[in-house]
Amino acid sequence: MSFAAVQRPVRHELVQVQGLLRDAFRTSIPILNRVGGHVLATRGKKFRPTLLLLTARVRDRLDESAVLSAAVVEMVHAAALIHDDSVDRSALRRGLPTVNGLWTDEMAIIMGDYLFGHAMGLMVRNHLDHPLEVLSRVVTEMSCGEALEFQYAYDLEVTEEQYTEMVRSKTGTLIGAATEIGAGCAADGGSRRPVAKATGRSRRPARGARMKFREFGERLGVAFQIVDDVFDYLGDPEVTGKPMGSDLAEGKVTLPLIAALREASEPDRRRLKRLALRRSRTVPQWDQLRALIEKCGGFAYARECAEGFAADSRRLLDEALGPARSRSAAAVAARRALDQAVDYAVRRDH
């Protein structure tokens, strides 16, 4: 299925987001603009800004602050990815060269830091207090997720609970930030400034609803990541743009393997461990590992989990939105697109 359909209700706003991203690389420093141009040209489908804008629209609150916040969330995401690629020594992402691949790890660290700083500056200058509050928490949680991933590397004893918490903090939190911020955007600029308080007309949803919007995004993010982790074993590199098995090669022990190890018979578990712990694998060894995971139900279990998180996220969105009442046509279209986004997360082919 295509993501373009999901984006349709907010396509004009996504163009504005792209403009804000372009502005970030209009500096007086040629190298920054050159690397930035490359980052812009190779950025993906804007999953997080799309979700933020749709969540804002579904509440009829799609204003300038939502567009700014969507750009900020994409900058934080891009910064994290650029740092990640450098950490993983990846030369390609989705088939395109990475910053560290084209330039150096040094430039990747600088570019990530620049984007973090620029995102922070945009929020402060535009008094986006609610996004600031959300993202200051999430940026820390994301690096905690990365630290957990580091801690669990090459550890075949990692449990499903540990994996899920790691994925939630690494991937879920930023998607949860997108939906929480989108829901919080309002005519007062999404800020906690006195003007909104004084008039008593803060259009931010109550704390309970806000948490549900956040959790809607977090679960969606976890579903998204589990599907990604299955692709590492079964995806077509021509389509995913990433060589198969690269997660395991970096020591990342993900759900299909965790589930298979748990369910395997003793001899199968020994074989799984032996194959998974090798420094490198031949093609037949790789095929054998995949066949064993399949036999022990690892892929089926992971897909089921992803579907479970997707179902959770649909339910949370329902609860967050409450009874339908009279919504605008735009809000109805956005609601449909959010449902499609959940479908997309679990049914995409790359």
Residues binding a second copy (CB under 8 A): 27, 29-32, 80, 83, 86-88, 105-107, 109-114, 116-118, 120-121, 123-125, 132-133, 135-137, 139-144, 146-148, 150-151, 194
Q: β-strand 92-93 against 96-97: which pairing, if any?
A: antiparallel
Minimum Å gap between C-beta 83 and a second copy is 5
Instruction: Kindly list the distances between the CA atom of residue 281 and the CA atoms of 229, 276, 294, 295, in Å, as whole numbers in the listed order.
Output: 18, 9, 18, 19
Token pair of 331 as six digits: 């809000």
Nearer to a second copy by Cβ, of 96 and 109: the residue is 109
Nearer to a second copy by Cβ, of 21 and 142: the residue is 142
Report the distance separating Cα 154 and Cα 254, nearest Å: 10
Nearer to a second copy by Cβ, of 42 and 143: the residue is 143
Minimum Å gap between C-beta 33 and a second copy is 10
Nearer to a second copy by Cβ, of 146 and 339: the residue is 146
Token pair of 244 as six digits: 């198969």
Contact at 8 Å (CB) between 156 and 102?
Answer: no
Minimum Å gap between C-beta 197 and a second copy is 9
Minimum Å gap between C-beta 286 and a second copy is 24
Contact at 8 Å (CB) between 296 and 263?
Answer: yes
Minimum Å gap between C-beta 23 and a second copy is 13
Nearer to a second copy by Cβ, of 32 and 300: the residue is 32
Of 176, 204, 212, nearest to 63 by C-alpha is 204
Minimum Å gap between C-beta 8 and a second copy is 34
Q: What is the DSSP string of 312-343?
A: HHHHHHHHHH-S--S--HHHHHHHHHHHHHHH
Nearer to a second copy by Cβ, of 141 and 294: the residue is 141
Nearer to a second copy by Cβ, of 64 and 106: the residue is 106
Minimum Å gap between C-beta 320 and a second copy is 24
Cα 70–chain centre separation:
13
Q: What is the DSSP string of 13-76?
A: HHHHHHHHHHHHT--S-HHHHHHHHHHHHH----HHHHHHHHHHHHTT---HHHHHHHHHHHHH
Q: Which residues, in sequence order, are bridge partners of residue 93?
A: 96
